[in-house]
């Protein structure tokens, strides 16, 4: 398991984090699945909890949605806004603010899609005593915001450097909980990271996944690093 302090990365190294996640999903599997799950996004509205540096936000905007959301780490949100401005998305399509995904309230019956990408899994380590309560509050907020027929989507890793799903035991418990308690249906995708060289891959991912990942990338000679991703839909 990596000893990297993820919270510190989010607060102090958001640009490097954004570069890393921008290298993920070289085949575009995730936007293709979102288009299939929520075909009415053009002209629709989306709620996003845990915006991060805006990777999912940009997917939603490219699909033609307006996006409202929150992110707890102000430096991450600053990078998101910078990327959104650079791509020329209109301000009228975006309403993003600093906020806690576990304490947010976005009202009722307005969103066509409510999504949280790689957000709730951190609660297992950061809030081990009450992760279920926190995630329950967030999922309840998401469901309340949905219009009848809207889609709830949760995205989590199923293993970095893995060619088949292999979540950690803690993540596996949480992910099964999404299915058994919330009735969400799992889709499994390959969202590999793509780099120009093995050394670029090792450097680009090592700061976030630790030295063990650096060694693994070099040992396998990976410029394309395998990643399995789960998408839970309800």
Domain annotation covers residue 126:
yes
Between CA 20 and CA 41 the distance in angstroms is: 27
Task: Measure the CA angle with vertex 76, ends 203 and 38; round to 5°.
Answer: 100
Written as six digits, the tokens of 80 are 């998101």
Domain annotation covers residue 41:
yes
State the DSSP H helix or E strand holding residue 227, giving kind and residue range, or none if neither: strand 227-233
CB atoms within 10 A of CB 40: 14
Sign of the torsion formed by the C-alpha atoms of 67, 107, 171 and 34: negative
Domain encompassing residue 60: 6-195+227-233
10-residue averages of pLDDT along the chain (234 residues): 80 96 98 92 96 97 97 98 96 96 96 98 96 98 97 98 96 98 98 98 96 97 98 98
Domain annotation covers residue 190:
yes
Task: Look up the CATH number of the domain holding residue 146.
Answer: 3.40.50.150
State the DSSP H helix or E strand holding residue 205, giving kind and residue range, or none if neither: helix 198-209
What is the structure's pLDDT at 3? 67
Phi, psi of 165 (to 5 degrees): -55, 130
User: Cβ(56)–Cβ(80) under 8 Å?
Assistant: no
Helix, strand or coil for residue 210?
coil
| Structural domain count, the chain | 1
């Amino acid at each position: 398991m990596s000893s990297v302090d993820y919270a510190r990365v989010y607060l102090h190294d958001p640009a490097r984090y954004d570069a890393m996640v921008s290298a993920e999903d070289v085949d575009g599997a995730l936007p293709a699945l979102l288009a299939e799950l929520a075909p009415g996004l053009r002209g629709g509205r989306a709620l996003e909890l845990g915006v991060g540096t805006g990777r999912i936000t940009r997917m939603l905007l490219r699909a033609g949605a307006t996006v409202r959301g929150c992110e707890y780490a102000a430096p991450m949100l600053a990078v998101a806004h910078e990327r959104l401005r650079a791509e020329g998305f209109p301000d009228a399509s975006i309403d993003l603010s600093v906020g806690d995904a576990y304490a947010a309230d976005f009202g009722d019956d307005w969103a066509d899609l409510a999504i949280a990408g790689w957000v709730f899994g951190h609660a297992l380590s950061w809030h081990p005593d009450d992760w279920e309560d926190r995630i329950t509050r967030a999922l309840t907020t998401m469901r309340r915001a949905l219009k009848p027929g809207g889609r709830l989507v949760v995205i989590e890793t199923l293993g970095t450097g893995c060619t088949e799903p292999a979540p950690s035991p803690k993540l596996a418990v949480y992910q099964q909980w999404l299915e058994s308690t919330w009735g969400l249906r799992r889709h499994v995708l390959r969202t590999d990271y793509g780099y120009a060289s093995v050394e670029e891959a090792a450097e680009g991912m090592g700061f976030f996944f630790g030295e063990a990942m650096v060694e693994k990338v070099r040992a396998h000679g990976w410029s394309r690093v395998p990643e399995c991703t789960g998408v839970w839909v309800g």
